[in-house]
Amino acid sequence: VSPSVTGLPVVGMVGGGQLARMTHEAAGPLGLTLAVLVARPDDAAALVTPAVTVGAPDDPDAVARFAAGCDVLTFDHEHVPQHVLEGLRGPVRPGRSPLRLVQDKLLMRATLTEHGFPVPAWRRADSPQDVAEFAAGHGWPVVVKTPVGGYDGRGVWEVAGPAELPPAGWPLLVEERVGIERELAAVVARRPAGEVAAWPVVETVQQAGICVEVVAPAPGLCPSVADAAAAVARRIAEQFGVEGVLAVELFQAGDRLLVNELAMRPHNSAHWTIEGAVTSQFQQHLRAVLDWPLGDPSPTAPCTVMANVLGTPATRLADALPAVLGADPGARVHVYGKSPRPGRKLGHVTVCGPEVAETRARARRAARMLAGDGA
Ligand SMILES: Nc1ncnc2c1ncn2[C@@H]1O[C@H](COP(=O)(O)OP(=O)(O)O)[C@@H](O)[C@H]1O
Ligand SMILES: [Mg+2]
């Protein structure tokens, strides 16, 4: 990576997915260079930024060489092993110890529990016997999760009885199956100097464990619950010294508000901020990891809806894209440049509007047209 001619810092991001790609898009207006360390030269971010290094995120030499050309190092995923991070000299944001929490769901649950944050009932299971014991106390079904490496519902199973355990290794995280009314996300950014900025709490809609839709702000959310959710996110950011964007996924169930999981990077639940907030999560992440003043997180519209485009066997982006642009000129389309595969996140659509129903319908319609699922 060559230093920028402006003298402005070079931010290095490990990972080349859509999060890195959209962070690159946000770096432009500030004159910043986003360098990316990508696993493959055709990764989504590598297709748009000139500052590309190809290397594995778990290769200590590759990461160290990449980091040496950057003023600060940050991430678009959780998969850089601690031993790789330990050898690095420059600033790493978020730091090694907060990152550890998002690399292991068992450690995340244990640490949140220890600090008094509300989480679903859980235990570590080292055998089918442990799962059965937990279920005897909390009832079947239970939810079991692989502690490391899961995403988009991969590594999460609802288990109805002892005969149905997934063919995964041990240990597993086993949890009560929460009677979720809806899922929320509270997303904040924190810079090393301590400043924290919070976007409005949003509702996230999951299908088969994958986020399909986000509505900002969460419709009809009672202000006390919104405040509680935002306060939890702020406390987590401060307690663990998060630097950068922190997304806190929450379950609302009756009068319980439970922390599901954390992400310390830009997150799908805040893609809506590109069009729907004064400062997007991608620009905010850059500001935060540089320890620069944070931007205003206020929403710019009464309602913003983001709908993910998930690949289907019928996805034909080249045909669908112009059709969508023609059908709804106000829809903001983001295509990530990834090869279509069923269930894969290929892009998203954002619509800002005066009220939820129509805005949601427009975002859904455009996303479905792009996915080619006919609806
Ligand atoms: N304990 C639980 N009870 C009920 N549903 C759950 C539970 N844990 C996870 N889920 C559902 O599965 C989805 C994915 O789980 P999560 O732990 O967030 O894994 P991932 O890392 O794949 O996002 C959640 O968004 C939620 O819809
Ligand atoms: Mg999740």
Q: What type of residue is 249?
A: E
Query: 373 pLDDT band (50/70/90 cuts)?
Result: confident
Run of H or E including 348 = strand 345-353
pLDDT at 374: 65
Query: 87 pLDDT band (50/70/90 cuts)?
Result: confident
Residue 90 has pLDDT above 60, yes or no: yes
What lines the ligand 1 site, CB under 6 Å?
120, 143, 145, 150-153, 156, 175-178, 180, 183, 206, 209, 249, 260-261
Distance set, CA 166 to CA 102, 105, 145, 201, 223 (Å): 22, 17, 9, 34, 40
CA of 80 to the centre of ligand 2 (A): 19
Residue 1 has pLDDT above 60, yes or no: no
DSSP bridge pairs for 307: 213, 349
How many CB atoms sit inside 10 A of residue 308's CB? Answer: 24
CA-nearest residue for atom 16, ligand 1, is 153
Closest ligand 1 atom, residue 177 Cα? 3
Residue 28 has pLDDT above 70, yes or no: yes
Residue 6 has pLDDT above 90, yes or no: no
Closest ligand 1 atom, residue 153 Cα? 22
pTM of model > 0.75: yes
CA-nearest residue for atom 21, ligand 1, is 151
Query: 364 pLDDT band (50/70/90 cuts)?
Result: very high
Q: Which of 143, 177, 205, 345 to mutate to test the pocket of ligand 1 (most atoms within 8 A of CB)?
A: 143
For residues 338-360, give the mean pLDDT. 97
pLDDT digits (tens, 9 = 90+) for 50-71: 999 999 999 999 999 999 999 9
Q: Which of 260, 261, 268, 308 to mutate to test the pocket of ligand 1 (most atoms within 8 A of CB)?
A: 260
Residue 17 has pLDDT above 90, yes or no: yes
For residues 206-229, give the mean pLDDT. 97
pLDDT digits (tens, 9 = 90+) for 265-288: 999 999 999 999 999 999 999 999
Distance set, CA 239 to CA 190, 225, 231, 243, 302 (Å): 11, 21, 12, 11, 32
